[in-house]
Structure 1
Amino acid sequence: MVTTPPPRASGRINSLDGLRGVAAMVVLLHHWLLIAQPWLQGTVVWAWISQSPAKLITAGNEAVLVFFVLSGLVVVLPVFRAGFSWMGFLSARVVRLYGPVIAALLFAALLILLVPRDPSRMPAGSWMTDTHATQVYPPSLLAQMTLIPRSYPLNNPLWSLHWELVYSILLPFATALALLVRRWALTAVLACAALSLVGRMLEQPELLYFPIFLMGTIMATRLPDMLAWVERPRPRWFMPLFAAGSVLLLIASWLARPIAPSGGILNTVLWSLAAPGAAGLVVVSLAWAPVMRFFETPVMQWLGKISFSLYLVHVPILATLAYAVGSQNWQLVGLLGIPLSLLVAWGFYQLVEAKMHQAARRVHRAVAARARRRANEIAP
């Protein structure tokens, strides 16, 4: 029998914080590997990294899907608490997203100004040349601060925050839809995976990403039932098999690349399995005691605490080091950049993110109280 410890008094589920921290580290390693790719591609090392189970530790795009499922689940949980205010929630959400994003973009712009970037020093067609700004243009900087554009050359991981913001705005509708289909939650989650596949094939990002967020929201509406399901007696092999299956789904498109090359229909179909794989890993983090204990260790909890800050600051640091020492010295970029990213993320959390959390709570209380007063004034 697998038991689940109760969440903290704050309502946070500890193991999901740890999962978030691991996902942020995977994204960091993924971007480091992209710097190394021009120098490793075609080698045995590259094949081992990208087409074996080792891909799990650098599956950055898939780790973002884990973030999306987690956001869909965790962000909506306060909706079901007494006294919830949509106006307060949305106001606080804006503060929590925009404050750190603006600070991260200013940080990235400062690094570009301090360390000149000559694109001719980077391999043609590489991630470094295709996605990174080499100069700071104020109009572009201001546009990226709005989270309206689809691409972010100053700090390219921010593309996912665009979809986080849009889903936050649509959350009332998503919550209503999730409540409508909650009786058929498993079928609805599979339908979301199918819709995401259609979005991938049609190259429609809204259809690709929104169903993945919705998966998490559907799971949130059934969270008590999920935890009850977790506590049922099961064979000892069930959760290890479930976890292995979730991992396999998450990176299936990579494992199959020798027979299903990237860009082909089969590979696209296999990539769509990453969404239910991400959802499965969230369930594992709630259900399998060894994994839960691992994610609840102090190191994993610390990673979870700084995960958003790490996500925001690591690419500017890695890119700056790549220009400073040369991307051909990708080993040195990782040796310096990975610990430096963790250190800067901790400082960023203390100086920016934690302060934005406090500001968001104040905004939430003020806006919610004003909304309640207004409702009382117009009530018959």
Structure 2
Amino acid sequence: MSTRAPSHSAVASETGRRNRHTSLDGLRGLAALVVVAHHALLTQPSLAAPYYAPDVPTTGLTRWAVNTPVHLFWAGTEAVYLFFVLSGFVLGLAAQSATFTWRTYLPARLVRLYLPVAGAVVLGALLMAVLPRGSQASAWLAARAVDYPALAVVQDLTLLGGVSKVISPLWSLQWEVAFSLFLAGFLSWGRSVHPAGQIGVALVASTWGFFLATPALSYLPLFLVGTALAQWWPDLASRLEEGARAHVRWGVILAFALTLIASYWLLLPSFSSDRLFWMTRPAVEIGVTLVLVAAATWAPLRWLLSAKPFRWAGLISFSLYLVHEPILIAAASLVPGSRWAIVGGVLVAVATAVGFFFLVEKPSHKIARLLGGRRVDGPTESRASVAASHD
């Protein structure tokens, strides 16, 4: 048996893959923080109004926060699109692994999704039972449900029949589960179509879905963008090796991507929202895909997203995504109109997410690894390299 040490290039390649996975963890954490900021700011009347009356002109500081690139810091809807593409990408890569098996994939995947969802439903129901809810301080708060009937609980626990929207972040989990069930079909179709063609079809289908207001057609193609990118990745990554002008090139690409992501809000003051929304969906989807590619490729961005704060946010991101909204609504209802109450609610949500991760999400990982035939006491895997959800 050969005892020759791995070559420098092989070690560098493996290190690069680990760094890419770590940076994608950080990217997921950043996206989860954006979703939390989104809901926290929607408790403010002036910032919620553009979502419910988009054609009413904004003025002053509201216009600055809504219709400029500043909106990127709380672009929650766009962050969820990133979750979808990222899930498709990570699962697409995982399916190419020599250790991947379809026999163990689906049980492990569903455990990773459904156990945390069940925990979030129980927590949300408890919070609604013991804390006030029903603030009219903003249009968003006024639209929140004030009770959680048994039928709604069952709906949220099953997901595939639709969700109650009492805990609104769960709306995206129904599409995560559907995609998990359809992954084999996505990959099978992808073998006969070039990845660029798959991405083109996905963008057209998703745009058509938004035009028709058909959620399945709107959102499931976003996962296809991710699986197509994963299929393309071995060839694409080699073409994206950094050269002498890489930093300038990637800086321009990232700025362009962020502009695409914010395009709806940047153009809203000049166009009617009805057409503008569905017409800007492909731009937003291209934007989040380019951000993902940059996060996995551009060394400075990989380094930033691999820093401890982002890695920590990535670790608890799924838990934070699931638990934060009922806490923020309770904070806004306990002290109506208080911005400090919202700040406190965000801190409580983060602390709760940490506890939720250790008590609910981490055990679900262990069960999933057992179902997948992996030891639970072995080396910790990158969370972006295991079946990704909104974590």
How would you bin the TM-score normalised by the shorter chain?
0.7 to 0.9
CA distance in 1, matches of 2:130, 2:289: 41
CA distance in 2, matches of 1:90, 1:240: 38
* Residues 110-164 of structure 1, C-alpha deviations (whole Å, 9 max, x = no match): 00001133x3x4158x22222x221232232122111124333331100000000
Corresponding letter in the other structure for 1:153: K
1:161 and 2:173 aligned: yes
Asked if 1:361 corresponds to 2:369, the answer is: yes
Q: CA deviation at 1:37?
A: 3.3
Q: Does 1:114 align with 2:127?
A: no
Distance of 1:34 and 1:309 partners within structure 2: 20
Q: 1:288 to 1:83 in 2, by over 3 A?
A: closer
Letter in 2 for 1:195: A
2:225 corresponds to 1:205: no
> 1:230 — aligned with what?
240
SS in 1 for 2:191: helix
Find out whether 1:22 has 2:18 as its counterpart.
Answer: no
- Per-residue CA shift, 1:163-209, capped at 9, x if unaligned? 0000000000001122222xx32343133212211111011111111
Decide which of 153, 160, 170 is 1:148's aligned counterpart.
160
User: Is residue 2:362 matched to residue 1:346?
Assistant: no
Cα distance in 1 for residues equivalent to 2:241 and 2:215: 37
CA contact (8 A) 1:144 1:152 kept: yes
Q: For residue 232 of structure 1, report the CA deviation from its aligned partner.
A: 4.9
1:86-125: per-residue Cα shift (whole Å, max 9, x none)?
Answer: 12100001100000000001000000001133x3x4158x
Measure the CA separation in 1 of the matches of 2:278 and 2:121: 32
1:6 matched residue in structure 2: 16
Partners in 1 of 2:36 and 2:154 — Cα distance?
Answer: 25
Q: CA deviation at 1:40?
A: 7.2
Aligned-residue CA RMSD in angstroms? Answer: 2.0
8 Å contact kept, 1:197–1:272:
yes
Q: Which residue of the partner structure matches residue 103 of structure 1?
A: 119
Q: CA deviation at 1:322?
A: 1.1
User: Which residue number in structure 1 is paired with residue 196 of structure 2?
Assistant: 186
Q: Which residue of the other structure, out of 274, 279, 294, is the alignment partner of 2:284?
A: 274
**Residue 294 of structure 1 pairs with residue 317 of structure 2:** no
1:35 pairs with one of 24, 37, 43: 43
Q: How many residues align?
A: 353
Q: Are 2:257 and 1:246 aligned?
A: yes
Structure 1 alignment gaps of length 5 or more: 367-380
**Is contact 2:152–2:163 with CA below 8 Å preserved after alignment?**
no
**What SS class does the counterpart of residue 153 from structure 1 fall into?**
coil
**Does the aligned pair in 2 maintain the 1:109–1:154 contact within 8 Å?**
no
Q: Distance in 2 between matches of 1:59 and 1:363?
A: 36
Q: How far off its partner does 1:83 sit?
A: 4.2
AA aligned opposite 1:67: F
2:128 partner amino acid: I
Q: State how far apart, in whole Å, the 2-side matches of 1:284 and 1:12 are.
A: 10
Question: Taking structure 1 as the reference length, what is the TM-score of the superposition?
Answer: 0.88
- One-letter amino acid of the structure 1 residue matched with residue 72 of structure 2: L
Q: What CA distance in whole angstroms lies between the structure 2 residues aligned with 1:336 and 1:100?
A: 24
**1:285 corresponds to which residue?**
295
**Matched-pair contact (CA < 8 Å) for 2:152–2:164:** no
2:141 corresponds to which residue? 128
Q: What's the CA shift string for 1:232-262, capped at 9, x where partnerless?
A: 5252421101111111111101111111232
The aligned counterpart of 1:315 is 325
Aligned partner of residue 133 in structure 1, secondary structure = coil
C-alpha distance in 1, partners of 2:283/2:26? 23
* Residue 241 to residue 308, structure 1, CA distance change in 2 (3 Å): same
Q: CA deviation at 1:268?
A: 2.4
Asked if the contact 2:332/2:342 (under 8 Å) is kept, the reply is no
311 and 252 in structure 1: CA distance in 2 versus 1, 3 angstrom threshold? same
Q: Is the 8 A contact 1:253 1:268 kept in 2?
A: no
Cα distance between partner residues in 2 of 1:39 and 1:95? 37
The answer (yes or no) to whether the contact 2:206–2:218 under 8 Å persists in 1 is yes
Secondary structure of the structure 2 residue equivalent to 1:69: helix
Q: Which amino acid aligns with 1:145?
A: L
For the pair 1:62 / 2:78, whether they are aligned, the reply is yes
| Secondary structure of residue in 2 paired with 1:116 | coil
Aligned partner letter, 2:191: L
In structure 2, the partner of 1:257 is 268
Q: TM-score, normalised by structure 2?
A: 0.86
| Contact 1:105 1:154 (C-alpha < 8 Å) held by counterparts | no
Structure 2: unaligned runs, 5 residues or longer: 1-11, 50-57, 375-391
Percent of pairs identical after alignment?
Answer: 34
Q: What SS is found at the alignment partner of 1:29?
A: helix
Q: Is the 8 A contact 2:82 2:289 kept in 1?
A: yes
The 1-side partners of 2:190 and 2:327 are apart by: 39
Amino acid at match of 1:89: Y
Deviations 1:270-329 (A, max 9, x none): 233111111000001011111111000011100011110010011011011111111x22
CA distance in 1, matches of 2:276, 2:350: 37
8 A contact 2:319–2:353 mirrored in 1: yes
Q: Contact conserved, 2:20 with 2:302, CA < 8 A, in 1?
A: no
